[in-house]
Amino acid sequence: MAVKVLAIVLAGGEGKRLMPLTADRAKPGVPFGGIYRMIDFVLSNLANAGYLKIVVLTQYKSHSLDRHISKTWRMSTLLGNYVTPVPAQQRLGPRWFAGSADAIYQSLNLINDEAPDYVIVFGADHIYRMDPKQMVNDHIASGAAVTVAGIRQPLSMADQFGVIDVAEDGKKIKAFREKPKDATGLPDSPEEVYASMGNYVFTTRALCEAVSADAQNPDSKHDMGGNIIPMLVERGEANVYDFRDNDVPGSTDRDRGYWRDVGTLDSFYEAHMDLIATLPIFNLYNHEWPIFTNYGSWPPAKFVHGYDDRQGRAIDSMISPGVVVSGALVERSVISPNVRVNSWAHVDGAVIMEGVSVGRRAVIRNAIIDKNVVIPEGAQIGVDLDRDRKLYTVSDNGVVVIGKGQRVEL
């Protein structure tokens, strides 16, 4: 008989480092790649693998995320399939989720109702393709209580990640450390370490017992990576799954093994730039493992005017439905639906979200423009960073970020 699997997606992240993009929405609900939301990537991975019973635990500013899930992620109920957002319900008293482990502890009724053999616990704010079924099969074969997905990273970057130290067999986890300065390399590759991807597969009983024990510890931060995994590592019941071994149908040599944590403005921007190369570093055009979403009933994109210097053009860019490029030039950019770029404007290296209007002769360089911003005629964004810092958010790497509906000054 087929094993029963329940997927839990942790989508309660506040996303402070992505401000102002998270000023009005939860981090997993932030638009990404023109037509998607961040959460579409993990949900697509689960759906493509055939895991169609999915609970999404939400908390901060979740309305836009809940609405997106409700409108987009509708499964056939005939076979009992569902994707359902579950906010903090205060079932155990008048308190919010105190951490990712506490979120699961407060939601044990969902696991008890479904009675699965195994529970997938994945984060909601990473950009990647993965076949979770291969990881589940590896977990079942190992007999471990938990399997942690690890991605190989250079040893020199160990102090930037939660690092998984493995035993000589290359599978059993002997330590789980946060940003260590003295990490050692892998048994089969001394110049690499395993960084935790924040994706776990649990045997159901082990998960329920671990979060229940953690809930009784007043000194715990009630975090999956910080508390639950180290608890099971100490018992010798945790294994690693090498993301390199995950073979997603349709992957190219260029984008195989891609994973990016888009937790900062710069990583969010860089992940968009990964999409638009001729041979993209992350390929959205893999039809064997599609990323699913719903972007509304927009008409096709349109490019108008084609004489002298007033030509509607887009080069090395992704242009969504509903966009009108009217006598303007768009380069190295990702443009979301219902954006209008007016004559003689120049957009270069930008991420522009839904409903933005770019006025005539405006210049936008190396910027992220959130929804419904109006860029006045002749405005310049990303040209004078000293001026921009006084008016807007500017990232460490010089990306100008304008928040949702923010007024743009000339």
- What the chain holds in terms of domains, given with CATH numbers, is 5-273 (3.90.550.10), 302-402 (2.160.10.10)
d(CA 296, CA 394) in angstroms, rounded, equals 31
pLDDT at 162 over 70: yes
pLDDT of residue 253: 86
pLDDT at 87 over 90: no
Short-list 112, 132, 113, 114, CA closest to 122:
132
pLDDT at 396 over 90: yes
| pLDDT level of residue 296 (50, 70, 90 thresholds) | confident
Say if residue 209 carries a ligand binding annotation.
no
pLDDT of residue 169: 87
Short-list 233, 285, 231, 227, CA closest to 255:
285
Yes or no: say if 325 and 343 are a contact pair by the CB < 8 Å rule: no
d(CA 18, CA 130) in angstroms, rounded, equals 24
Token pair listed for 121: 């616990």
The region of weakest confidence among 167-176, 262-271, 345-354 is 167-176
Token pair listed for 406: 């923010």
Say if residue 297 carries a ligand binding annotation.
no
pLDDT at 123 over 70: yes
pLDDT of residue 284: 94
d(CA 333, CA 401) in angstroms, rounded, equals 14
pLDDT at 352 over 70: yes
d(CA 361, CA 343) in angstroms, rounded, equals 7
pLDDT of residue 391: 94
Q: Which percentage of the chain shows pLDDT scores above 90?
A: 72
Measured over the CA atoms of residue 327, residue 328, residue 332 and residue 334, the dihedral's sign is negative
d(CA 23, CA 64) in angstroms, rounded, equals 12
For residue 138, the SS3 value is: helix
DSSP string computed for 54-84? EEEEE-TT-HHHHHHHHHH----GGGT-EEE
- Mean pLDDT, rounded, for 196-220: 94
What 3 state SS string does 199-258 have? EEEEEHHHHHHHHHHHHCCCCCCCCHHHHHHHHHHHCCCEEEEEHHHCCCCCCCCCCCCC
Q: Which amino acid is at 166?
A: V
d(CA 72, CA 78) in angstroms, rounded, equals 18
pLDDT of residue 168: 87
For the chain, give the mean pLDDT: 92
Reported pTM: 0.93
d(CA 264, CA 254) in angstroms, rounded, equals 24
Q: Which percentage of the chain shows pLDDT scores above 70?
A: 99
Say if residue 162 carries a ligand binding annotation.
yes
Whole-number Cα distances in Å, 227 to 135, 175, 178: 22, 12, 11
Strands 162-166 and 173-178: antiparallel
- Mean pLDDT, rounded, for 207-233: 91
pLDDT of residue 363: 97
| pLDDT level of residue 304 (50, 70, 90 thresholds) | very high
The region of weakest confidence among 22-36, 171-185, 280-294, 365-379 is 171-185
Yes or no: say if 259 and 151 are a contact pair by the CB < 8 Å rule: yes
- Higher model confidence: residue 78 or residue 379? 379
Distance of CA 215 to the CA centre of its chain: 27
pLDDT at 216 over 80: yes
pLDDT of residue 1: 61
pLDDT of residue 219: 86
Say if residue 178 carries a ligand binding annotation.
yes
What 3 state SS string does 333-382 have? CEECCCCEECCCCEEEEEEECCCCEECCCCEEEEEEECCCCEECCCCEEC
- Higher model confidence: residue 405 or residue 344? 344
Residue with tokens 């959130």: 370
d(CA 48, CA 175) in angstroms, rounded, equals 32
d(CA 385, CA 368) in angstroms, rounded, equals 14
| pLDDT level of residue 307 (50, 70, 90 thresholds) | confident
pLDDT at 88 over 70: yes
Cβ-based burial of 134 (10 A; exposed 0-12, middle 13-18, buried ≥19)? middle
d(CA 111, CA 177) in angstroms, rounded, equals 29
d(CA 48, CA 238) in angstroms, rounded, equals 26
- Mean pLDDT, rounded, for 11-19: 85
DSSP string computed for 312-330? -EEES-EE-TT-EEES-EE
pLDDT at 278 over 90: no
| pLDDT level of residue 279 (50, 70, 90 thresholds) | confident
